[in-house]
């Protein structure tokens, strides 16, 4: 079954394709710096009773050669059924698109990575009809990135490194380096930084690194009173959200009292009450709603309103 953590592993390839170059270098596959990367339909189903779906399929267009397809699978454990599925993916995609196909399996566990490397044979009677050689990325070949400057230069690779080494003794240092890089990036590109923060939060799962990342992301350790843009935005947003919630509750109370007393509440009055964000004014209206003779009198001049009636606006 595909989970959000499983899906997030592949989005990093689709949305941040710059990761392909350093990963290919690690795997010993030549790929120029300039290449186009496009997502390809992942449905490899041929007959209705049997559904086959590749996690991610990318069409890579190198600047110095012919296009090829890169099928990407995320594997958390050994699965004997995969060896036939992977062979099918490669054969089907090659036939469908008439392009060479490479299969990349991303693993988090060294044992799974060793198994996933194959090769996986299809044949009988001492004859091999097809042999599948997956490329494998995992803790055995992805670099351990613990330097913040190195992480800043290639955040995508650093994040993938953190996922691959999530169960190693180096995971804390990797995450701390990424956090430093992301805090710096947040000042200029909060959207990209937010993507990587979320990517790690989703993909670390129940690993030891997940606990460390939650500590980093927590208010106490992540917002230590440094006045950063992210800290200020968080505090302001939290306060505004609380105030809006209180205002909504007060408005609901005012309308309840008026209606309970049998007053018809015109739409114009209802809108004025529900759109008000001035908490002291709403408090005064609530008190007055118990005394007025009709809903219109709620806004009569002479209403007692506290002097410090500052709202959200």
- Is 309 among the domain residues? no
- Say yes or no: 40 and 126 in one domain: yes
User: Has residue 50 got a pLDDT over 50?
Assistant: no
- Say yes or no: 180 and 295 in one domain: no
User: Has residue 309 got a pLDDT over 80?
Assistant: no
Domain of 257, in residue numbers:
231-299
- Is 304 among the domain residues? no
How many alpha carbons fall within 13 Å on the CB side of residue 20? 29
User: Has residue 6 got a pLDDT over 80?
Assistant: no
Residue 175's pLDDT is what? 93
- Say yes or no: 112 and 21 in one domain: yes
Residue 235's pLDDT is what? 57
User: Has residue 305 got a pLDDT over 50?
Assistant: no
The secondary element (H helix, E strand) that includes residue 120 is: strand 120-124
pLDDT digit string, tens, across residues 59-90: 888 777 788 898 888 787 888 888 888 999 99
**Confidence category of residue 220, pLDDT binned at 50, 70, 90:** very low
The two beta strands, 35-40 and 56-62, are: antiparallel
Residue 17's pLDDT is what? 66
Q: List, in sequence order, the alpha helices (H) in the chain.
A: 4-15, 20-27, 82-97, 110-116, 148-153, 155-164, 171-186, 190-203, 208-217, 219-222, 229-260, 267-274, 279-288
- Is 244 among the domain residues? yes
- Say yes or no: 91 and 21 in one domain: yes
User: Has residue 291 got a pLDDT over 80?
Assistant: yes
CA 211, CA 204: separation in Å to the nearest integer? 9
User: What are the Cα distances from residue 293, in Å, to 257, 263, 267?
Assistant: 12, 8, 18
Residue 45's pLDDT is what? 46
pLDDT digit string, tens, across residues 168-204: 889 999 999 998 898 888 878 877 787 788 778 877 8
What tokens does 299 get? 């806004």
- Residue labelled with tokens 């007053």: 263
Its pTM stands at 0.57
- Is 310 among the domain residues? no
Domain boundary among 222, 240, 265: 222
- Is 87 among the domain residues? yes
Q: Which of 160, 162, 134, 9 is nearest to 70 (CA)?
A: 134
Q: Which of 167, 121, 173, 122 is nearest to 150 (CA)?
A: 173
Task: Report how many domains make up the chain.
Answer: 3
Mean pLDDT of 218-226: 48
The 10 Å Cβ neighbour count of residue 54 is 23
CA triple 64-43-157, angle to 5 deg: 50
Domain boundary among 194, 222, 250: 222
The 10 Å Cβ neighbour count of residue 240 is 12
pLDDT digit string, tens, across residues 130-140: 899 999 988 88
Mean pLDDT of 108-129: 88
Residue 18's pLDDT is what? 67
Q: What is the DSSP secondary-structure string of 19-51? A: GHHHHHHHHT----S-EEEEEE--B---BTTB-
CA 122, CA 130: separation in Å to the nearest integer? 5
- Say yes or no: 116 and 48 in one domain: yes
- Residue labelled with tokens 């091999």: 128
- Say yes or no: 153 and 103 in one domain: no
- Is 19 among the domain residues? yes
Domain boundary among 180, 203, 222: 222
CA 201, CA 173: separation in Å to the nearest integer? 16
User: Has residue 222 got a pLDDT over 50?
Assistant: no
What tokens does 216 get? 């980093």
Q: What is the DSSP secondary-structure string of 133-156? A: --EEESTTTS-----HHHHHHTHH
Mean pLDDT of 153-161: 85
CA 221, CA 225: separation in Å to the nearest integer? 9
């Amino acid at each position: 079954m595909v989970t959000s953590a499983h899906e997030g592993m592949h989005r990093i390839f689709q949305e941040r394709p710059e990761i392909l170059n350093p990963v290919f270098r690690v795997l010993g596959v030549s790929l120029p710096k300039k290449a186009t990367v496009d997502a390809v339909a992942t449905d490899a189903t041929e007959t209705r009773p049997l559904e086959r779906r590749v996690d991610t399929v990318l069409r890579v267009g190198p600047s110095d050669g012919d296009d090829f397809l890169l099928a990407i699978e995320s594997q958390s454990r050994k699965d004997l059924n995969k060896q036939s599925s992977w062979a099918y993916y490669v054969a089907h995609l090659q036939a469908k698109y008439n392009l060479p196909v490479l299969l990349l399996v991303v693993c988090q566990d060294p044992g799974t990575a060793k198994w996933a490397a194959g090769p996986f044979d299809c044949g009988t009677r001492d004859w091999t009809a097809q042999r599948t050689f997956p490329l494998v990325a995992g803790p055995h070949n992805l670099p351990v990135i613990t330097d913040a400057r190195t992480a800043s230069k290639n955040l995508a690779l650093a994040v993938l490194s953190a996922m691959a080494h999530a169960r190693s003794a180096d995971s804390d240092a990797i995450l701390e380096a990424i956090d430093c890089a992301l805090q710096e990036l947040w000042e200029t590109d909060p959207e990209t930084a937010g993507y990587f923060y979320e990517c790690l939060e989703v993909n670390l799962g129940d690993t030891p690194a997940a606990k460390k990342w939650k500590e980093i992301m927590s208010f106490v350790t992540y917002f230590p009173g440094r006045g950063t843009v992210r800290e200020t935005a968080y505090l302001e947003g939290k306060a505004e959200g609380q105030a809006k919630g209180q205002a909504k509750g007060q408005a609901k109370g005012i309308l309840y009292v008026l209606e309970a007393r049998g007053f018809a509440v015109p739409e114009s009055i209802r809108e004025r009450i529900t759109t008000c964000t001035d908490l002291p004014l709403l408090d005064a209206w609530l008190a007055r709603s118990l005394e007025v003779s009709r809903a219109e009198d709620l806004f009569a001049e002479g209403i007692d309103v506290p002097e410090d009636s500052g709202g959200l606006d």
